[in-house]
């Protein structure tokens, strides 16, 4: 099986998508020694290479983050390009991750991916959805061990069967919706202001903290 993986995160090698796909690849290559091509769709100048790699691959996995309920622009651009590429029968699967704790937010883009696959007459392998991913780069190992282990198992099963293992897909989707108790907890947590800590760190790193309330497109 010639597998090509397309990472649609704007952060490229520094992305959470890269971390997840690395664990998937560890499991995959532990049981399949075929070379796997990895492409970063944010390198838009290499788009012709990405299209060619997609054409040549037997199987493609496209992973990307959900940003405010939408796919990144370079992912949409990639899809618009491959629509013009004959690829009937190609095996294609998707992985969508997000910072939203529940999987529900990602089910809408999942519908699009399924319809796209039907339109292109691909062999649709399904969509893996995992929420609560933003922040994994600063979480201690005991908080990420389970999800990383499941992505390694996902890769292992994929190497053996060429498919996403259904039970693992189901586990990764949990929680599908936030429970009322957990929602109450989040509302109380918001009152502390600690939910802004991670984002404030990023704003300061990029010299944008003082501009966080700017609204350049608001009516004067």
Taking the domains of the chain in order of start, what are their residue ranges? 3-178, 179-210
The answer to whether residue 183 scores a pLDDT higher than 80 is no
Contact 65, 105 (CB under 8 A): no
Distances, alpha carbon 165 to alpha carbons 23, 26, 176, 203, in Å: 15, 16, 18, 38
Q: What's the whole-model pTM score?
A: 0.86
Strands 91-97 and 36-40, bridge-based pairing: unpaired
Please provide the CATH number assigned to the domain covering 3-178. Answer: 3.40.50.360
Write down the pLDDT at residue 208.
93
Write down the pLDDT at residue 6.
98
Q: Would you place residue 53 in the very low, low, confident or very high pLDDT band (cuts 50, 70, 90)?
A: very high
The answer to whether residue 56 scores a pLDDT higher than 80 is yes
């Amino acid at each position: 099986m010639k597998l090509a993986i397309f990472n649609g995160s704007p952060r490229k090698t520094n992305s959470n998508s890269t971390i997840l796909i690395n664990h998937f690849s560890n499991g995959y290559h532990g049981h399949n020694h075929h070379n796997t091509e990895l492409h970063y769709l944010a390198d838009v100048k290499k788009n012709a290479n990405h299209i060619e790699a997609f054409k040549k691959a037997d199987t493609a996995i496209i992973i990307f983050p959900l940003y405010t309920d939408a796919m990144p622009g370079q992912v949409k651009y990639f899809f618009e390009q491959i629509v013009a590429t004959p690829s009937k029968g190609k095996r294609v699967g998707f992985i969508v991750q997000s910072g939203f704790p529940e999987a529900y937010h990602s089910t809408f883009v999942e519908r699009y991916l399924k319809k796209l696959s039907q339109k292109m007459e691909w062999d649709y392998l399904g969509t893996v959805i995992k929420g609560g991913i933003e922040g994994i780069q600063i979480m201690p190992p005991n908080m990420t061990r389970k999800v990383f282990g499941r992505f390694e198992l996902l890769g292992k099963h994929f190497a053996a069967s060429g498919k996403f293992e259904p039970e693992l897909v189901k586990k990764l989707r949990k929680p599908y919706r936030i429970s009322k108790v957990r929602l109450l907890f989040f509302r109380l947590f918001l009152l502390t202001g600690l939910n802004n800590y991670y984002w404030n760190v990023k704003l300061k790193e990029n010299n944008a903290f003082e501009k966080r309330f700017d609204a350049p497109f608001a009516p004067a």
